[in-house]
Structure 1
């Protein structure tokens, strides 16, 4: 079950639909460089429910054709420069969504349903740009009661980072249930983890409730601090200085290319992987 990062990246194919988590939920940043180096193109990213540094890097490297998201930003470091530039240039298809809609689409896929209904979109301009979202009247109401049907989102792969996994392939995600939803909705999941738990996580009464079973995990790589420069909930903080450095450099494509080519900007991943 334990794999090398490069081997995990080789499981991916150009054109795949890939689900990636929000910056605070466990972004597998250590997978970013191998993904870029493997020459992937025309990826369709699903941000769960927003995107950040990893998404911006993949766009800047020319790997992405489409992003379905509620937003893409670098948080305290400001806007996502390569995403913004691609949108302005018209080189990236952006499928505008909302956070509840993204989660609804994934939950529908998890449950094997063709769609899930939500209410919050009624009256919003977002609906004008989503012909695949359908507004119907609640068939169980005697009065007009419009709801929006969100089609199921079926990613080919979910990629994320978690604190630990065991040698049986089980992954502990704690209370980050959105990671489980991503895994359930996707055909397979690739996971990086900070440490390996000696034993079976599902046999530990304290930890078992927060475990994603191995059934939903295709491959795991042991990469301590694999979210860097992002932090990991309950483990270590975000390296804001590095995020700021990237944000400043990536305002131009030339700056982005130079920043990505500098080994020191990837040193911590390489040293700790």
Structure 2
């Protein structure tokens, strides 16, 4: 049987490193309010590879210590207001990255390697601001040949939303391989889904290739429309009007608080 959202949120403890997906890959917005209500803070968020509404709301709630990301945006609704303000105020630590670098760090963790080498960062401003990345000479080159070492990204926890899971705990993620990368690298993976289906997703030739095995899934909760106001591929479109409403409200701390309170009230009605 699936868990409930509060049970999933209870897995989070202060100081955890949490991987969250890009807006089009299946963000579990259904988990945002339970995480805020749970209140575990000093979180280090890893955006895979960019962040948006969920990250902004967790920052606005005061739960975030650092954010590692290659971008932060609300898409058509513009910038992420609580993130922008927190960076200006020095309230969070920003670990600026690139999409390939974040994926490389997750790959290193998946492979059990302490790092993965990358070449494309040489000469960039991003590299200058990451003291945890290292530049060495390629040991296989006869002359100087600098290469960057990206340390493994090992999240304590990954959270995402998917269309469906089966009763054995297998989760269908389709082509969203970044979700698999998050799960492979993380110690615990929490998934919310639109529905639970009979039979085995791994036994069906149609769904098997896009299924994350239960081996990599720690807990599942049923949450219809769980990505809203984001859309979910193959299920429903994003609610742009709601994204714009949030972006306008969250320009101030007071507006953010009022918006989140209104969402809680609407959920209870």
| TM-score, structure 1 normalization | 0.96
Is 1:184 the counterpart of 2:212 in the alignment? Answer: no
Residue 264 (structure 1) shift: 7.1
* Aligned-partner SS, 1:45: strand
State how far apart, in whole Å, the 2-side matches of 1:54 and 1:26 are.
11
Does the CA contact (< 8 Å) of 1:134 and 1:148 recur in 2? Answer: yes
* Aligned-partner SS, 1:11: coil
**Any idea what the Cα deviations from partners look like across 1:179-237, whole Å, max 9, x if unmatched?**
00000000010000111121011111111111111111110011111000000112111
Does the CA contact (< 8 Å) of 1:96 and 1:130 recur in 2? Answer: yes
State how far apart, in whole Å, the 2-side matches of 1:156 and 1:23 are.
21
Within a 5 Å distance, the mapping from 1:56-205 to structure 2 comes to 56-205=56-205
Give the corresponding residue for 1:12: 12
- RMSD (Å), alpha carbons: 1.3
State how far apart, in whole Å, the 2-side matches of 1:138 and 1:87 are.
35
Structure 2 unaligned segments of length 5 or more: list them: none
State how far apart, in whole Å, the 2-side matches of 1:65 and 1:94 are.
9
State how far apart, in whole Å, the 2-side matches of 1:242 and 1:264 are.
15
* Aligned-partner SS, 1:35: helix
Q: 1:264 to 1:62 in 2, by over 3 A?
A: closer
Structure 1 unaligned segments of length 5 or more: list them: none
* Aligned-partner SS, 2:153: coil
**Any idea what the Cα deviations from partners look like across 1:24-68, whole Å, max 9, x if unmatched?**
000000000000001121111000011000000000001111111
State how far apart, in whole Å, the 2-side matches of 1:68 and 1:11 are.
21
State how far apart, in whole Å, the 1-side matches of 2:119 and 2:193 are.
37
Give the corresponding residue for 1:218: 218
Does the CA contact (< 8 Å) of 1:259 and 1:265 recur in 2? Answer: no
State how far apart, in whole Å, the 2-side matches of 1:171 and 1:12 are.
21
Residue 144 (structure 1) shift: 2.9
Does the CA contact (< 8 Å) of 1:171 and 1:212 recur in 2? Answer: yes
State how far apart, in whole Å, the 1-side matches of 2:50 and 2:59 are.
15
Residue 266 (structure 1) shift: 5.2
Does the CA contact (< 8 Å) of 1:202 and 1:208 recur in 2? Answer: yes
State how far apart, in whole Å, the 1-side matches of 2:266 and 2:52 are.
17
* Aligned-partner SS, 1:202: coil
Residue 138 (structure 1) shift: 1.6
* Aligned-partner SS, 2:191: strand
Give the corresponding residue for 1:29: 29
State how far apart, in whole Å, the 2-side matches of 1:105 and 1:37 are.
30
Is 1:244 the counterpart of 2:236 in the alignment? Answer: no
Aligned residues: 269
Does the CA contact (< 8 Å) of 1:154 and 1:187 recur in 2? Answer: yes
Mean Cα deviation higher: 141-150 or 158-167: 141-150
State how far apart, in whole Å, the 2-side matches of 1:203 and 1:254 are.
51
Is 1:254 the counterpart of 2:254 in the alignment? Answer: yes
